[in-house]
Amino acid sequence: MTEHTYREAGVDIDLEARAVRALIDNLTYQRTGPFPMLGTVGHFAGLVDCGPFALALAVDGVGTKMLVADALRDWRTVGIDCIAMNVNDLYVMNIEPVAFVDYIAADDLSIEKMGQIGQGLNEGARLANINIVGGETATLRGLVNGLDLAGTCLGVQRKEKIITGDLIVPGDLIVGVPSSGIHSNGLTLARRIVEEYASYDTALAGGKTLGEELLTPTRIYHEALSVAETCIVHGMCHITGGGLLNFRRLADYGFSITAPLEVPAIFRWLQETGDIDGAEMYRTFNMGMGYAYIAPPRSVATIESAIPGARVVGEVAEEPGVWLRGIDIR
């Protein structure tokens, strides 16, 4: 059996990082006058100075999870994913999401599909307590094959309450929060394994089919705002594309995961069936931890009591890097 990797399936996260850096390096212009940019490009969200407040913008999409929805002809929940992938990137900076616009590009439009996508977007908006204020739908036959769903979210917060990770220090603890499943990352590799070795109708031991597992919507971590109000939090991380490597976006320290959260059945099946290396799994998927808090030890009890299933999974070290049980997964 061939050992599968995310790169072999068509997504090279190292190349993506270099390509994004090439793009960012050319974004040198900054607005003159009021409302300047705060910070730099490359965090989970971009910030604009609005006096005592900062506006934040995040953009993300559903990715190839849409192809799973197409295969099952079930688009009812991908709108939740679209909202979740955006608002979670705001929560990590302690920013409250307030408004959202969607972008749909398709080779052809289906009334049934658009209606179901709308249902999911509306449910995601309810869960995150945001307004959907508009969007764009483009029919791009010849450029797009299928339907791509993405969006941009606007958030707001007082500047002194924004959490960027700059207060993270060695000795801080990492508190992991369970995911709802695969979320919206790594689907290119997951689909490759399912379609090569099984089918979306194949049932796992717990009774859910692979299709149902892959379509489970991304968890919306709305509790982050209240947690940050009740205890000291030095940083937060959305475990999205790139898995544990997302910690590198927070600080130039080391993030050592020594006691990972329990790995859900869908990830165990993918790893065993696709013969995927353990480090590759944690560089690709959330592996059961969709969100994390980086906080001083005195805050841990408050975080754990506020969020069911949350617990300490590791700590911050002096030497830069990301380690899983002592193995550098960079």
CATH number of the domain bearing residue 189 = 3.90.650.10
d(CA 307, CA 89): 18
Over the chain, what is the mean pLDDT? Answer: 94
Tell me: do 186 and 320 sit in the same domain.
yes
Side chain identity, residue 58: A
Tell me: do 213 and 244 sit in the same domain.
yes
Q: What is the pLDDT of residue 330?
A: 75
Instruction: Quote the tokens at residue 302.
Output: 């408050």
pTM for the model stands at: 0.93
Tell me if 13 is assigned to some domain: no
Q: What is the pLDDT of residue 42?
A: 67
Q: What is the pLDDT of residue 25?
A: 85
List, in sequence order, every residue forming a beta bridge with 103; answer none if it has no partner: 136, 150
Tell me if 68 is assigned to some domain: yes
Higher-confidence residue of 252 and 27: namely: 252
pLDDT at 327 over 80: yes
Higher-confidence residue of 9 and 137: namely: 137
Tell me: do 155 and 177 sit in the same domain.
no
d(CA 245, CA 128): 26
Tell me: do 259 and 118 sit in the same domain.
no
Residue 126 burial (CB count, 10 A)? 12
Higher-confidence residue of 27 and 37: namely: 37
Band of pLDDT at residue 261, cut at 50, 70 and 90: very high
Tell me: do 48 and 119 sit in the same domain.
yes
Q: What is the pLDDT of residue 2?
A: 56
Tell me: do 136 and 259 sit in the same domain.
no
Out of 37-41, 65-69, 186-190, 248-252, pick the least confident. Answer: 37-41
Q: At what angle do helices 65-72 and 187-197 cross, to 10 degrees?
A: 40
| Residues above pLDDT 90, as percent of the chain | 86
Q: Which residues contact 84 (CB under 8 A, 6 or more apart)?
A: 124, 127, 128, 183, 184, 217, 218, 219, 220
pLDDT at 9 over 70: no
Domain final position from 160, 195, 225: 160
Tell me if 166 is assigned to some domain: no
**How many folded domains does the chain comprise?**
2
* CATH number, domain with residue 83: 3.30.1330.10
| Of 184, 250, 224, the residue nearest 96 (C-alpha) | 224
pLDDT (tens digit per residue) in 210-241? 999 999 999 999 999 999 999 999 999 999 98
Tell me: do 152 and 223 sit in the same domain.
no
pLDDT at 41 over 80: no
pLDDT (tens digit per residue) in 113-128? 999 999 999 999 999 9
Tell me: do 212 and 294 sit in the same domain.
yes
Q: How far is CA 103 from CA 76, 82, 147, 156, in A?
A: 17, 10, 10, 21
- Give the per-residue SS3 of 153-207: EEEEEEHHHCCCCCCCCCCCEEEEEECCCCCCCCHHHHHHHHHHHCCCCCECCCC
Q: At what angle do helices 111-128 and 78-91 cross, to 10 degrees?
A: 30
Band of pLDDT at residue 5, cut at 50, 70 and 90: confident
Q: Which residues contact 68 (CB under 8 A, 6 or more apart)?
A: 187, 191, 200, 211, 214, 215
96-106 and 131-139 strand pairing: parallel
Domain span holding position 47:
31-160
Band of pLDDT at residue 3, cut at 50, 70 and 90: low
List, in sequence order, every residue forming a beta bridge with 328; answer none if it has no partner: 323
Tell me if 15 is assigned to some domain: no
pLDDT (tens digit per residue) in 306-325? 999 999 999 999 999 999 99
Domain final position from 132, 160, 188: 160
Phi-psi region at 165: left, alpha or beta (left = phi > 0; alpha = psi -120 to 50): left
d(CA 91, CA 51): 21
Q: What is the pLDDT of residue 173?
A: 98
Stretch 170-195: mean pLDDT: 96
Tell me: do 117 and 220 sit in the same domain.
no
